[in-house]
Structure 1
């Protein structure tokens, strides 16, 4: 739902406005480096190896100078042999160093990526439901896949390359100054010509890269929506594959066009660098040749200077192109940090205490009884606004790109006060949109009220730990979700330590074991995407079995028998009646059979509780409940009687010599 709550729940947004074209926020590099602290020994080893590699890069040309000046020109073969062997030895040492560098950089980079990826995943799980109702799944997944690849490149490649390039540049320049200050000065004059276009190119590529990532996320979102079973079925039923293909083509076309621009800008710098390198090489050969002819510079020194020049502009080229690469990597990190900077609305207080009810009395901590009551005290609620729960870059940009602010959400609940007694069944009835689901979502703290208090066992739910709250409240929604996994894993999600016997018993109680046992793979049958290989009633029974396996003291049901036929419903009701005995139950009821079993009925309409009482009391009152009964429930009562009469009717007698149809 759209809208915003009171100002008391407003949160500060991250610095800068997320979106296409936004520059990387200050402090991003510092945050990246903080992730490498856990690998400081590997970083120290990497830097040491890089320093040795830089020394080898500077030593090679010096050995070439000695080979020419002290070996070849004087005719000393033994000097040539020993110096050539030394050169080969340095090459072997350098190869070993490169291998060790790869291990260190890989260890550091993959470790940082692992830490960042798991941190973002855990942080996303802490976000409220409103975050997921606004966020495009494909864009979110893109950040954990595509953007992480950029982050990996930043740490594994840039860390080693940047340090190596700087050290090599310093050592090579020092060696060149020692050999010939004239040629060194000429080479240094050309360095700014390399760095200026690199900086300009990097600045231009950063917004293009961010735009590329955003559009790539939108394309991934469409694929995610169309490739799941519900989206695929909708596309087939409404018969618009060409429209979908055209829409995807337009999104892919945008990605293509931006990728072309990125590729062009990415090639501009290497072309400029190649031209400048050629000019500089010609300059050094001309100046060095003139000095050598005049006798100012030895021939071996000229060869060494040319070799050093190649090793000088190698790091310069790396540093130049690295600016653009680093900017792209910084964008990737920045987009990950955008998510980490989004503060969850539902947080646990530092002094929160656990709710651990024990059967038969008080809990170990004395917090709540085995079947705690649930109480609402003057609870008002309105759904949070987009600025509180999501990022613009994770939504459809058409919703906010115009810069318009979202209108405040009207209150969904208005000062509700009621008590659901411990161990009793409380039914919520009312027209669609009355606020029933919102009430049930406040119990397990899917949201927090704008004002008022929700209590369990006399304790404000905000004073309880989230883990104990989730453990104490079991929920079955009308549309039960199953993971694309086996039946066993879907059941164990409720209680990972459950035994095989407990799984079977829960399935029997939910009247699902006969169906499961008839399957070739039994509990190891894969249910498909969102459980689509099962019927609606079978999915609902698995969800009930999952609830029974968890066995929480508080149960919230959004009409868990809605997809069952009348016979199965009656049996499930009996199973629930037995399994939920002594538990506090809050049920959104659309079935008369559920309502009649309720110890208390709350009639919700327009965010208010209009009536409360038992079935007979509310019928006698002749108010809103009586109207709902006449329009929605009375037909169910007739159908229930018809089913009961069929089930209870005696079978016709079969006499000898008589053949009845279907006998």
Structure 2
């Protein structure tokens, strides 16, 4: 559907809760039990070995005070060195395994997100806007990838180290452990203050980035219209406004993080003071040894490094968490049972099917008035019908519904014996192919691009399709023929050649019904005449619906339907409608005089 149709304001895709995202991660970790178990074990071992030298240091102090022999002190020293070396090795192994596990989870997440987006009904993609979709499978994946490489290993390892160090303090003396635990309420209060306020901010920041992407995409896609109506300033102002919104949210996030760090520092101060006071009291009362009292503040101080690492990577972790909830949220979107382009879905035969539309009414979500009102028309098998009308009359919406994109609020669209409401989108694609003016050539060999429509097609079949649409001459001049790279980084193709490739795909698709929505609108007058001949060749023998951009295209159709404000107001052949003297006749006179 095009921007000329009336539509409701776009809404964003679903965003998962933190619990839903955590359950998804846990479920996929269970699918890799050995890797998950190895990651946890090496992380715990590395943390324990990092704490062990501090405990052994307390033994050294007690040994010196008690006059222990040098051999015992030497043995303890060797154990400290060995623990440090083994701890470093275990920590390195843990970092590697965390990265490996994270990379596997990210790969699965990215695959499922792309699959979910491809499986979403086309109307839903258009409703939310491509900016939100692209920001999730692009920006959010990039943010999460960075977080998995940096923040996630740091937070996980540091968290385990905090737990082990806390257990070590209780191992020295339960009263010293309780003194150190006195800092926990302050830590908890700091997190309780920070998390509920920061998580929504991070989500808002990601949504703002999606809105900025949508503003950029809309402006670039419609650059010709923007220039024609001198709207460059308005588009620039829109992009600037969205960029400032992203910047302001970033500043707000950083401000909250700074206040969080201050609260964490206060918690550390409270814990250290409590340990020193309690340790002094225990030592004075003879309830603890000097080694235990000396090791306790060092053990608590050992917490500073992992806690500091957690704090200074928490910003990245929060961004990763926000991106994770957005990506997992895509899985909650309603999807067709099979992806569009499922290679197992093929038309039962290539015989043309009739198209019957009865009482079709359609309203965009949130819109007050319907775009189409009780539209009824039919196209006999192998026949053609052209839709004409003013901008906003509902032509593109009707064409999309006939192609199976979206569901009408009332009425039906039947292709032969099939009601499109009973088919998923892949099933509809097996019966109907749609070609719009937004054609695209994928980067890669030309043959691969064409085989998107027919994966099993031979080179001979590809060349026949290209010759059918008038592309044989220039394809033969390509340096590597069908193996020539086209698209980004490859052979530069003009608008006419891109459209011919799209028409060649249409020939290869073999669907019995074809819908063409202003598919030659982007070509110049000379190229358009060439493409109109290619369109007729590509649609030969098929039931065809044209959304006519040029009335010469409408003339070539068997019948013409004129839409006005969502209703069919005239229908007949070109000569009948000209003789009628109605809207089509006026359009024809204006077209002929303009030409």
Q: Aligned equivalents of 1:223 and 1:633: distance in 2?
A: 35
Matched residue, 1:509: 468
CA positional deviation for 1:276: 4.3
Q: Aligned equivalents of 2:226 and 2:445: distance in 1?
A: 27
CA positional deviation for 1:31: 4.3
Residue of 286, 289, 292 corresponding to 1:298: 289
Residue of 73, 84, 96 corresponding to 1:103: 96
Residue of 577, 581, 585 corresponding to 1:627: 585
8 Å CA contact 2:551, 2:591 repeated in 1: yes
After superposition, give the CA deviation of every residue in 1:558-580 in whole Å (9 maximum; x if it has no partner): 35455667777666666555554
After superposition, give the CA deviation of every residue in 1:191-231 in whole Å (9 maximum; x if it has no partner): 322321232123332233233333333444444455x4753
Q: Aligned equivalents of 1:413 and 1:445: distance in 2?
A: 18
Residue of 571, 583, 593 corresponding to 2:542: 583
TM-score, normalization by structure 2? 0.81
After superposing the two structures, state which structure 1 stretch, 623-632 or 302-311, moved more. Answer: 623-632
Provide closer, same or farther for how the CA distance between residues 276 and 465 of structure 1 changes in structure 2, counting only shifts above 3 A: closer
After superposition, give the CA deviation of every residue in 1:100-128 in whole Å (9 maximum; x if it has no partner): 22233223322222323332333233444
CA positional deviation for 1:445: 0.7
Residue of 422, 426, 436 corresponding to 2:381: 422
Query: 2:372 matched to 1:412?
Result: yes
After superposition, give the CA deviation of every residue in 1:293-329 in whole Å (9 maximum; x if it has no partner): 6655433333332332223555666777888776554
Provide closer, same or farther for how the CA distance between residues 198 and 407 of structure 1 changes in structure 2, counting only shifts above 3 A: same
Matched residue, 1:550: 509
Q: Aligned equivalents of 2:436 and 2:444: distance in 1?
A: 19
Query: 2:14 matched to 1:34?
Result: no
After superposing the two structures, state which structure 1 stretch, 445-454 or 59-68, moved more. Answer: 59-68
Q: Aligned equivalents of 2:491 and 2:215: distance in 1?
A: 20
8 Å CA contact 2:485, 2:491 repeated in 1: no
8 Å CA contact 1:435, 1:604 repeated in 2: yes
Q: Aligned equivalents of 2:234 and 2:548: distance in 1?
A: 40
Q: How does 1:135-534 map to 2 (within 5 A)?
A: 135-148=128-141, 151=144, 168-169=161-162, 171-225=164-218, 228=220, 231=223, 250-278=241-269, 280-285=271-276, 287-289=278-280, 291-292=282-283, 296-312=287-303, 328-344=319-335, 356-358=347-349, 370-376=351-357, 378-385=358-365, 406-416=366-376, 418-483=377-442, 487-518=446-477, 524=484, 526-527=486-487, 534=493
CA positional deviation for 1:50: 2.9
Provide closer, same or farther for how the CA distance between residues 211 and 626 of structure 1 changes in structure 2, counting only shifts above 3 A: closer
Matched residue, 1:644: none
Residue of 33, 43, 46 corresponding to 1:50: 43
Q: Aligned equivalents of 1:193 and 1:587: distance in 2?
A: 69
8 Å CA contact 2:401, 2:407 repeated in 1: yes
Provide closer, same or farther for how the CA distance between residues 618 and 292 of structure 1 changes in structure 2, counting only shifts above 3 A: closer
CA positional deviation for 1:451: 1.8
8 Å CA contact 2:56, 2:80 repeated in 1: yes
**Ranges in structure 1 where 5+ consecutive residues have no aligned partner:** 5-10, 360-369, 386-405, 640-663
CA positional deviation for 1:612: 4.3
Q: Aligned equivalents of 2:359 and 2:265: distance in 1?
A: 70
Q: Aligned equivalents of 1:265 and 1:565: distance in 2?
A: 55
**Secondary structure of 1:413's aligned partner:** strand
Q: Aligned equivalents of 1:237 and 1:428: distance in 2?
A: 26
After superposition, give the CA deviation of every residue in 1:425-461 in whole Å (9 maximum; x if it has no partner): 3333445444433332122211222222211221112
8 Å CA contact 1:201, 1:324 repeated in 2: no
**Secondary structure of 2:31's aligned partner:** helix
Q: Aligned equivalents of 1:85 and 1:528: distance in 2?
A: 61
Q: Aligned equivalents of 2:250 and 2:319: distance in 1?
A: 13
Provide closer, same or farther for how the CA distance between residues 245 and 459 of structure 1 changes in structure 2, counting only shifts above 3 A: closer
CA positional deviation for 1:241: 7.2
Provide closer, same or farther for how the CA distance between residues 525 and 168 of structure 1 changes in structure 2, counting only shifts above 3 A: closer
Provide closer, same or farther for how the CA distance between residues 489 and 206 of structure 1 changes in structure 2, counting only shifts above 3 A: same
- Work out the number of aligned pairs and report it: 584
Matched residue, 1:79: 72
8 Å CA contact 2:374, 2:567 repeated in 1: yes
Q: Aligned equivalents of 2:406 and 2:241: distance in 1?
A: 38
Q: Aligned equivalents of 2:234 and 2:539: distance in 1?
A: 49
After superposing the two structures, state which structure 1 stretch, 235-244 or 574-583, moved more. Answer: 235-244
8 Å CA contact 1:357, 1:371 repeated in 2: no
**Secondary structure of 2:364's aligned partner:** coil
Provide closer, same or farther for how the CA distance between residues 430 and 296 of structure 1 changes in structure 2, counting only shifts above 3 A: closer
Q: Aligned equivalents of 2:538 and 2:239: distance in 1?
A: 49
**Secondary structure of 1:357's aligned partner:** coil
Q: Aligned equivalents of 1:429 and 1:224: distance in 2?
A: 28
**Ranges in structure 2 where 5+ consecutive residues have no aligned partner:** none
TM-score, normalization by structure 1? 0.74
Query: 2:84 matched to 1:124?
Result: no
Q: Aligned equivalents of 1:554 and 1:443: distance in 2?
A: 10
**Secondary structure of 1:446's aligned partner:** coil
8 Å CA contact 1:371, 1:584 repeated in 2: yes
CA positional deviation for 1:422: 1.8
Provide closer, same or farther for how the CA distance between residues 287 and 144 of structure 1 changes in structure 2, counting only shifts above 3 A: same
Between structure 1 and structure 2, the one with the greater Rg is 1
8 Å CA contact 1:426, 1:598 repeated in 2: yes
**Secondary structure of 1:36's aligned partner:** helix
Q: Aligned equivalents of 1:565 and 1:606: distance in 2?
A: 29
CA positional deviation for 1:371: 2.0
Q: Give the alignment's Cα RMSD to 1 decimal.
A: 4.3
Q: Aligned equivalents of 2:524 and 2:183: distance in 1?
A: 83
Q: Aligned equivalents of 1:590 and 1:181: distance in 2?
A: 83
8 Å CA contact 2:390, 2:564 repeated in 1: yes
CA positional deviation for 1:592: 5.9
Q: Aligned equivalents of 2:525 and 2:247: distance in 1?
A: 55
